[in-house]
Amino acid sequence: MSTVSLEDIRAAAARIAGAVERTPCLHSRTLSRLAGCELWLKFENLQFTASFKERGALNKLLTLSEAERQRGVIAMSAGNHAQGVAYHAARLGIRAVIVMPRGTPNNKVSSTRVHGAEVVLEGDTLSQAGAHARELAVREGYTFVHPYDDAAVIAGQGTVGLEMLEDVPDLEMLVVPVGGGGLVSGIAVAAKALRPEVHVFGVESKSWSAMYQRMHGLPVEVGGDTIAEGIAVRDVSALTLEICRRCLDEVLLVDEEIIERAVVALIEIEKTVAEGAGAAGLAAVLAHPQRFAGRRVGIPICGGNIDSRALSAVLMRGLVRDGRLVRMRVMMPDISGSLAKVAALIGEAGGNIVEVQHQRVFGTASVRTPEVEFVIETRDREHTRAIVAHLGQHGAKAQLDT
């Protein structure tokens, strides 16, 4: 097992310079106030393929011999690694084959193909796709480009940390999402070599915490649905585990709800789109404020490839969570004009009606008192209470659904 040094990361930085974006690392005043610390965000979602994965993929490709380039490369991935390998391989004139599980969403398959890679759909899981990719590598002579179990890939990812500390040298803490551990390993090596006093934290979803479990000597048990599928990895490699044991201060775990909150905060405050994995670092700071209070903290927004429907659902759930979208049931007399009167009262109180359902059969207290369900957009919970009070003052009994 090889390892990764600061010199490797500096060499990778020189190698990939000009071919990947040197993304901005910017201070967020509003998020800093919200989190109770000074926050700097590294916008890796601004890479051409919207992910840091380009860095490691390109560094690996540039270390290949001419014979290896001629034979081509193969990778297994259902997401950002696939696009990073495909894009830079095509740019360098290297044949790329990407093996994806059969259930991979069509948009991810097409996004990989559009970059010039040959996509092979095989297996029901990523591990099965990986096994097939390795078989093809042996049979066809391809070089296998692993998403994290590769020193060259890790060195490429480490350039994120190198740039963060060059741009903001007095950062005290770095908070980095962890999947297989390639990004956090590279950043941790760079940070600890440049400034040993910097604290480096990894972040995992509670239901996908392979690195946390391995570092604590626990059996790896992961699974379940997650908005952060980019870090939903079944296990880590011996290489990334060794680096993390040596360089990480701690791995923090976060709930799904707070990852969703972080995605919403980045859109509403920073006007930037982050996938669940990309927002996990901010989620950890919001979930563990006491660890970061008053400190200078750097977070890589490591990816922005989120499905449009998932993003829409996350935003709407955020409105509900913040009390800005509420469902209200109103009892009213069954007389002409009652519905119009209640709608007018809601408008007078400043509520915006999004949906209306008039219920005469199910759940009503009396056949003479139908129930109307409103979905209403409000400013906040206090405004919602004011709308309920306004309705009550005019004879309409309202009840909020929680």
Taking only the tens place, the pLDDT of each residue in 285-302 is: 999 999 999 999 999 999
Average pLDDT over all residues of the chain: 93
Domain check: are 135 and 208 in the same one?
A: no
Domain check: are 304 and 281 in the same one?
A: yes
User: With 70 as the cut, is the pLDDT of residue 69 above it?
Assistant: yes
Q: Residue 274: what pLDDT?
A: 97
Do 240 and 213 form a contact (C-beta atoms < 8 A)?
no
CATH of the domain at 366: 3.30.70.260
Do the domain assignments include residue 62? no
User: With 70 as the cut, is the pLDDT of residue 134 above it?
Assistant: yes
Q: Residue 367: what pLDDT?
A: 56
Do the domain assignments include residue 65? no
Taking only the tens place, the pLDDT of each residue in 194-205 is: 999 999 999 999
User: With 70 as the cut, is the pLDDT of residue 365 above it?
Assistant: no
Among residues 89, 119, 141, which one ends one of the domains? 141
* C-alpha–C-alpha distance, residues 112 and 90, integer Å: 11
Q: Which residues contact 8 (CB under 8 A, 6 or more apart)?
A: 151, 152, 155, 158
Domain check: are 125 and 263 in the same one?
A: no
Q: What is the DSSP string of 273-342?
A: ---TTTTHHHHHHHH-HHHHTT-EEEEEE-B----HHHHHHHHHHHHHHTTSEEEEEEE--SSTTHHHHH
Do 119 and 76 form a contact (C-beta atoms < 8 A)?
no
User: With 70 as the cut, is the pLDDT of residue 322 above it?
Assistant: yes
Do the domain assignments include residue 56? no
Number of domains observed in the structure of the chain: 3
Domain check: are 159 and 10 in the same one?
A: yes
Domain check: are 124 and 216 in the same one?
A: no
Q: Residue 53: what pLDDT?
A: 97
Length of the chain: 402
Domain that holds residue 372: 323-401
- Residue 124 has, within 13 A of its CA and on its CB side, a CA count of 0
Average the pLDDT over 365-390 and give the result: 84
Q: Residue 10: what pLDDT?
A: 98
Do the domain assignments include residue 333? yes
Taking only the tens place, the pLDDT of each residue in 230-283 is: 899 888 999 999 999 999 999 999 999 999 999 999 999 999 999 999 999 999
Average the pLDDT over 109-123 and give the result: 90
CB 216: neighbour CB atoms within 10 A? 9
Domain check: are 344 and 380 in the same one?
A: yes
Taking only the tens place, the pLDDT of each residue in 246-255 is: 999 999 999 9
Domain check: are 192 and 328 in the same one?
A: no
Confidence grade of residue 24 (pLDDT, cut at 50, 70, 90): very high
Q: Residue 264: what pLDDT?
A: 96
User: With 70 as the cut, is the pLDDT of residue 366 above it?
Assistant: no
Average the pLDDT over 85-97 and give the result: 96
What would you measure as the largest C-alpha separation in the chain, in angstroms?
Answer: 84
* C-alpha–C-alpha distance, residues 308 and 287, integer Å: 26
Among residues 268, 301, 317, which one ends one of the domains? 317
Domain check: are 233 and 162 in the same one?
A: yes
- CA-based nearest residue to 124, from 152, 154, 99, 88: 99
- CA-based nearest residue to 49, from 271, 225, 278: 278
Do the domain assignments include residue 67? no
Q: Residue 334: what pLDDT?
A: 74
Do the domain assignments include residue 15? yes
Do the domain assignments include residue 132? yes
CATH of the domain at 114: 3.40.50.1100
Domain check: are 346 and 369 in the same one?
A: yes
Domain check: are 256 and 216 in the same one?
A: yes
Domain check: are 132 and 211 in the same one?
A: no
Among residues 141, 169, 195, which one ends one of the domains? 141
What pTM does this model have?
A: 0.90
Domain check: are 300 and 284 in the same one?
A: yes
Do the domain assignments include residue 58? no
Confidence grade of residue 399 (pLDDT, cut at 50, 70, 90): confident
Q: Would you call 372 helix, strand, or coil by DSSP?
A: strand
Distances (CA, A) of 217 to 167, 200, 214, 220, 241: 36, 20, 5, 9, 11
